[in-house]
Amino acid sequence: MVWSLGGALDEPSRGKLDVFLRDVEAQFPPLQTVYEYGVSPDKKDWVLFEDKVNNAWRPSPATPFYKILVPTIDTVRYQFLVGALMKCH
């Protein structure tokens, strides 16, 4: 719901959607915004995308610069979203 309806919103509108969703459904964690969380199938609970970022990651010295994909909150978040969409295909 968050990303299907709210993915194209600008930052101020995302804040409004965050408040609205929390009024409708109180199960979201109180910290951050609803955009910062995904559901862990293993835990069956909300997890921060930030917690899934591998902070110890370092590129291999042999990897060409143009092939490096640095893990960030956004790359983890979008990997989760694309994976979820691919399962629905």
Supply 7's token pair: 């993915």
- The domain total for the chain is 1
Give residue-wise pLDDT tens across range 57-78.
999 999 999 999 899 998 998 8
Give residue-wise pLDDT tens across range 2-46.
888 888 999 999 999 999 999 998 888 988 999 999 888 888 899
Supply 81's token pair: 């979203």
27-to-53, 56, 66, 81 alpha-carbon distances in Å: 24, 31, 41, 20
Q: Range of 34's domain? A: 2-88
Whole-structure pTM over 0.85, yes or no? Answer: no
